[in-house]
Amino acid sequence: MNSHHFRHSIALTFVAALTLSGCGSIESAAQDDCTSIGWQIGSQGYQECFKARVYERKLDYSLPPGDKPSPSVI
Task: Give the pLDDT of residue 73.
Answer: 74
Sign of CA dihedral 29, 30, 33, 36: negative
Task: Give the pLDDT of residue 30.
Answer: 94
Task: Give the pLDDT of residue 18.
Answer: 47
The per-residue pLDDT string of the chain (74 residues; one tens digit each, 9 = 90 and over) reads 566 555 655 654 544 454 555 557 899 999 999 999 999 999 999 999 999 999 999 988 887 777 776 777 76
- Angstrom distance (rounded) from CA 9 to CA 47: 38
Cα–Cα nearest to 46, from 57, 59, 33: 33
- Angstrom distance (rounded) from CA 41 to CA 30: 12
| Residue extents of the structural domains in the chain | 22-61
